[in-house]
Amino acid sequence: MTIETFVAVRKMRGLSQTEYGKALGISRGMVACIETGKRNLTDTTKSKVHQVFGNEFVEQVRRLTEGR
């Protein structure tokens, strides 16, 4: 999962950074840092995105953002 996919999942669900962070168990600040590339998108956070939003949805978003 790229940063672009991480951001797109949030935006496609219409969530603020605060709401997204709450859903993933991380702070709004951490979401902002990941989205701007100041912090790495960890495997744990990637897994949490899949758990919370569903593999099928995340895969569809990934295909749209990554073009594969």
pLDDT of residue 67: 76
Overall pTM > 0.85: yes
CATH at 38: 1.10.260.40
> Tell me: the pLDDT tens digits for 11-65?
999 999 999 999 999 999 999 999 999 999 999 999 999 999 999 999 999 999 9
Number of domains in the chain: 1
Whose structure tokens read 């797109």? 8
pLDDT of residue 66: 85
CA dihedral 54, 58, 61, 67 (to 10 degrees): -140
State which residues form the domain around 56. Answer: 3-66
**Contact status, residue 20 vs residue 31, Cβ threshold 8 Å:** yes
Look up residue 43 and give its amino acid.
D
